Structure 1
């Protein structure tokens, strides 16, 4: 994993990543993505479209991550928010540091934002900072990339911001995620928040939301 102090030692492929463009309109686009993320977390289970096109940038970065995940990091991360990247997403470390100034966290617990691109190697949710009773706002937000995200399916969302219940089909979540999430939800008001992405779409999963698997 590339630390900020090692940027000068980055490989040529990482250096090409620095040259990849960030948000087309950094100020306006960051605000639009921020509002999209807030909407996703206030209306859990509602699938939203990223309001910015970043497919070309993702291609220049070797498709190490998808447009929605990349856009969220570009809009939300800054010099005060360490970002943890899993091995699959580590190729965007130099790019992210260049465009946002965010330091790259060496371990999950040190991160304010985290990107999980490979579910097979994902840490447990408890490995990330869930904040404290005095400061629950200091918890981490995870971005988890899924291989499929669609309305209707076995995963039921319930809680604040959901009129009754929403059901989604999400493929590519870490093994045992729903059970792990139940433990995270029980920590409320502490616990992590999650944004699940797939391509240029995203859905919010705040710690206040309960998940259950329906029997089919």
Structure 2
């Protein structure tokens, strides 16, 4: 394996986990994650850190075709996590895709079950930009008033997809946005609307 994962696995994975937890607790907050990590192209440090921290041998990982075609990136994640590769999005505990090259279809992922809402997919989406600007407004649990976020490219039907996803709470998909060495999280419980 040519690319190293965390230099200090215990410390760095804990730091990444705490960053993701802070981002979950404060939807719309942008947290540093994966600094110092040098994954193979085209993985960002943040996306790699999220998968390295959350996935393991018991959590099937689906990698979108645009990223799977980069064999080194897929091999890196599989080697360092031990996660089996899922045959389809619906079979995945975690999924990795690139919003610039892959379509986002939230309903294609595992939604959980009434007795086991945690059996849904957490989607890690690579973005080309991530900022606290008023493209979208977030409200709901963990948000005081509203929060603002902008990420791109944003699917044209994202707001309607997200409303459909949120409407089935506690079922639904959680979304981790990864850009460079930063993450933001949209938990399934929050409302996302167009900004001004």
TM-score by length of 2: 0.93
- Output the CA distance in 2 between the equivalents of 1:121 and 1:200: 21
Structure with the higher fraction of residues in strand conformation: 2
- Larger of the two Rg values belongs to structure: 1
Provide the C-alpha distance between the structure 1 equivalents of 2:166 and 2:98, rounded to a whole number of angstroms: 22
2 CA distance for matches of 1:174 and 1:26?
Answer: 35
Displacement over 6 Å in runs of 4+: none
Given the alignment of the two structures, is residue 196 of structure 1 paired with residue 177 of structure 2, yes or no? Answer: yes
Cα deviations across residues 8-33 of structure 1 (Å, max 9, x unaligned)? xxxxxxxxxx2210111112211111
- Counterpart residue number, 2:26: 43
Q: Note the aligned Cα RMSD (angstroms).
A: 1.3
Q: Any gaps of 5 or more consecutive residues in structure 2?
A: none
Q: 2:36 aligns with which of 35, 53, 59?
A: 53
Contact 2:128/2:151, CA 8 A, preserved across alignment: yes
1:68 matches 2:68: no
Distance 1:51 1:87, change over 3 A: closer
- In the alignment, structure 1 residue 208 sits paired with structure 2 residue 194: no
Structure having the larger proportion of residues in helix? 1
Shift of the alpha carbon at 1:51? 5.3
Deviates more, 1:115-124 or 1:204-213: 115-124
1:51-108 deviation per Cα after TM superposition (whole angstroms, max 9, x unaligned): 5421xx23xx2x2111100111111110001111112221211111111100111210
User: Any unmatched runs of 5+ in structure 1?
Assistant: 1-17
User: Is the contact between residue 68 and residue 201 of structure 1 (CA under 8 Å) also seen in structure 2?
Assistant: yes
Q: Does 1:88 align with 2:88?
A: no
Provide the C-alpha distance between the structure 1 equivalents of 2:164 and 2:138, rounded to a whole number of angstroms. 15
Q: What is the Cα deviation at residue 39 of structure 1? A: 1.1
> How far did 1:125 drift?
0.4
- SS for the counterpart of 1:39 is helix
